[in-house]
Structure 1
Amino acid sequence: MSILEPVGVGAAEEEVYRHLVTLRAATLDDLVKHIGRESAEIRAALDGLLERGLVGDEGAIGYVPAPPALSLGALIHQRQADLRAAELAVAALAEDYRTARPPADVVEVLTDRETVRRRFLQIQDAARHEVRSMVVPNLTIVPHRENTAEREALRRGVRYRALLDRGALAAPEMVTDVRASLAAGQQIRVVDVVPVKMMIVDEETAFLPLRTDRPESPASILIHRSGLLAVLIAFFETEWERAVPLPIGEDHPGDLDDLDRQVLGLLLAGLTDQAVAGQLGLSLRTVHRRIRQLMAKARVDSRVQLGWVAARKRWV
């Protein structure tokens, strides 16, 4: 694939243009000699470059490249304008779709597994501002590591906030995944129980299962902008306010090493000693020893006191 393909320059055209930039001027025979492509292929590439204003034909001198910053910059600006026009057209179509839809279509039911997976990724690809999610244990339809759209949206600058069921932290390698999400910029808070897995994209769409008693079922519903969606957003925000920020994967001052912070963070997130050991790949004896050392360092006799001292000393 050509690096310049997004602005309409094909691979052969880019190769010819790059050689012209290096040579500053060249005839057709020169280019055939330097590039090694067929004369007809290079001629076709030159015709395309001439049409786009990327090269000029100076007769006996040969072909001369236009300044890249000027000529390619113009193509980029034009492509940006085209994309902006397309974005506005899509927004207008979406508004027409929303206003033309009868009230019964506020809720869209999806039952096919592949359709559900595809739509789950599509609504994140369309996110412009924020994605709110509620995460339950044992995700089956789209496991966390298969949510490639999340990583791409974060790179685009979309804000992600996730409410995590405390029980989900006990899943194998979940803490590793959570730390990676935090490092990528996601905000994560923990609550004792998340009643239903859900995703809300911008103020436009909510995605949640049709049946909460059958986690293996792909049947899902999409709720479009409506009073019902406003209620779900308000519910998320209420839960977010009472949730506890996840104290792992962050940098804090203090005199603890990284493993101590991880052990303490998982304990304060509500995991059992056994779950902490499993997540960190430690023996239960090592976890107990670390906790005793933390309590000794904090000069306390109970884990409740340890949590209070950890907060005061900003260990987590």
Structure 2
Amino acid sequence: MTTPLGVLGLDALAEDTYRGLVALPSATAPHLAELLGRGTAEIMHALETLAARGLAARSGGDRDRFVAAPPTVALGTLLGQRHDDLRRAELAVATLAEEHRRAVAGRAISDLIEVITGVDGVRHRFDQIQRSAREEVRAFVTSRPVAVPREENAAEDKLVAKGVRYRVVIERAALDEPGTAEAALASVAAGEEIRVVEKLPVKLIMADRELALVSLPATEPARSEHGEPGAVMLHASGLLEALIALFEGTWARARPLRPTDSAALAPDDARILSLMLAGLTDRSISVHLGMSMRTVQRRVHFLMELAGVQTRIQLGWYAAREGWG
């Protein structure tokens, strides 16, 4: 894991040494080594590294004693250099992206499609496409994911936290799988937008309007001779625009999945209502929440009485109007 000052080029030992030095008027390598529980030689090496970076200096005429440079001055200079580096990198990426767009415009269709086979290859491309998104990720999630299970998708939460919009349509059968409904509700609470449909035609993920990865069914010939999963990666093209249109049409008719947290409802009732509105059966809800099906049905009837309605459809309307779900 990168340390807080690692982005400025300091390793963990150098950062710890600088932090220790900042807290003292001055210090020798043996003194800091004792405070930090490290060897004197490695602390001395860290001090010399800090001195070379302008973060520390020897104290007066004592070559064995060091003082820390003021953080706002020394680290501010490093931050300015890093900002300049990032601006140059951004300019280079923008230039390359423009060259890539011009090149894509003249590509043959065979150059816009890449066939990937094997779990590792699909996972690698899936991760690449996600991390390339700057504004939005669109995805269809079907039941029984083969290559990239939800719990192994670490990039998703990080991108949502950075402000990348996630719109995901989940096949209802996928919510019947253990842990999926709870994970979906947690994702919504974290900022994702998730909707549910009865059936999806394909599993896919799209980054902005630039890239898409479409998983191939088990019967497709693009699977390897050993039966491993396959996928097709698409670059910006009319075909990708068609997939975006497919997603938007599916999104428009799908049912929103919302975490129900109304103060009027007990936590178990809120979870039951959320899963019921997502289209899960009473049996599936009972399995997900560890309740008997009779308990689920009793709580649904209680919610209907609380709302003053006669049917589950009316309960859904009431819940939407009152902000229950």
TM over 0.5: yes
1:19 shift after superposition: 3.6
CA contact (8 A) 1:19 1:31 kept: no
1:133 shift after superposition: 0.5
1:270 shift after superposition: 1.7
Whole-angstrom CA distance in 1 between matches of 2:214 and 2:72: 48
1:118 shift after superposition: 1.1
1:31 to 29, 32, 36: 29
* 1:296 to 2:305 alignment: yes
Whole-angstrom CA distance in 2 between matches of 1:160 and 1:166: 18
Whole-angstrom CA distance in 2 between matches of 1:89 and 1:99: 16
1:120 shift after superposition: 0.5
* 1:311 to 2:320 alignment: yes
1:69 shift after superposition: 1.6
CA contact (8 A) 1:190 1:246 kept: yes
CA contact (8 A) 1:196 1:212 kept: no
Moved more, 170-179 or 230-239: 230-239
* 1:226 to 2:229 alignment: no
CA gap of 1:67–1:194, structure 2 versus 1, over 3 A, is: same
1:201-280 correspondence to structure 2 within 5 Å: 201-211=207-217, 213=219, 217-247=228-258, 249-252=259-262, 255-280=264-289
Structure 2 stretches lacking a partner, 5+ long: none
1:45 shift after superposition: 3.2
Structure 1 stretches lacking a partner, 5+ long: none
Whole-angstrom CA distance in 2 between matches of 1:17 and 1:44: 12
What is residue 281 of structure 1 aligned with on the other side?
A: 290
TM-score by length of 2: 0.86
1:65 to 65, 68, 79: 68
CA contact (8 A) 1:169 1:175 kept: yes
1:285 shift after superposition: 1.1
Whole-angstrom CA distance in 2 between matches of 1:122 and 1:305: 44
1:169-220, Cα deviation, whole Å (9 max, x unpaired): 1111111111111122111111222111111101110111233756985210
Q: Residue 23 of structure 2: SS of its match in structure 1?
A: helix
CA gap of 1:266–1:22, structure 2 versus 1, over 3 A, is: closer
1:153 shift after superposition: 1.1
CA contact (8 A) 1:165 1:192 kept: yes
What is residue 138 of structure 2 aligned with on the other side?
A: 132
The number of residues matched between the two structures is: 311
1:152 to 158, 177, 195: 158
CA gap of 1:87–1:112, structure 2 versus 1, over 3 A, is: farther
1:313 shift after superposition: 3.2
CA contact (8 A) 2:135 2:165 kept: yes
Moved more, 219-228 or 87-96: 87-96
1:32-111 correspondence to structure 2 within 5 Å: 32-36=30-34, 41-60=42-61, 62-100=65-103, 102-103=107-108, 104-111=110-117
1:222 shift after superposition: 0.6
CA contact (8 A) 2:112 2:237 kept: yes
Q: Which residue identity does 2:294 align to in structure 1?
A: R
CA contact (8 A) 1:16 1:31 kept: no
1:112 shift after superposition: 2.4
Whole-angstrom CA distance in 1 between matches of 2:89 and 2:30: 39
* 1:175 to 2:181 alignment: yes
Moved more, 227-236 or 81-90: 81-90
1:116 shift after superposition: 0.9
Q: Which residue identity does 1:224 align to in structure 2?
A: H
Overall identity of the aligned pairs, in %: 45
Whole-angstrom CA distance in 1 between matches of 2:87 and 2:24: 36
1:87 shift after superposition: 3.4
CA RMSD of aligned residues (A): 2.5
